[in-house]
Amino acid sequence: MIPKNYEEFQESLNGQLLPDNWSLPLQALWYDAKGDWESSHDIAQDIHSPMGSWIHAYLHRKEGDRWNAQYWYNHADRPFPDYSLSDELRVLVENNL
């Protein structure tokens, strides 16, 4: 079931398996929120859209690679965020519901 809001997304993290029928961006964000950066990154690399670039940027920001993150924020046509990673995750999720 696709979450209707960020709280439902957070609740889905209690499960062991990714819920069915989620978009690729939500799948990538779910894996990241579960602590599986690598799976999240693998999915984000295959999303050829501004949203995919934004998620890719967020992931490189999270790993501390500011140069690579800035590259992907530019591709997403987004500024480098001035807010926390947890806030950015929430914004990303909410933009994909």
pLDDT of residue 52: 98
The answer to the question of residue 31 being in a domain is yes
Q: Is residue 88 part of a domain?
A: yes
Task: Please give the Cα distance from 54 to 94 (Å, whole number).
Answer: 13
User: At residue 19, does pLDDT exceed 90?
Assistant: no
- pLDDT above 90: residue 17: yes
Mean pLDDT to the nearest integer, 28-53:
97
Range of the domain at 58: 21-94
Q: What pLDDT does 74 receive?
A: 98
Say if 9 falls within a structural domain: no
| Total residue count of the chain as it appears in this document | 97
For residue 58, is it within any domain?
yes
**What is the pLDDT averaged over residues 92-96?**
97
Write down the pTM of the prediction.
0.95
Q: Is residue 57 part of a domain?
A: yes
For position 20, what pLDDT does the model report? 81
Which residue type sits at 72? W
Structural domain tally of the chain?
1
The answer to whether residue 11 sits within a structural domain is no
- Do the beta carbons of residue 72 and residue 54 sit within 8 Å? yes
Does the structure show a pLDDT above 90 at 80?
Answer: yes
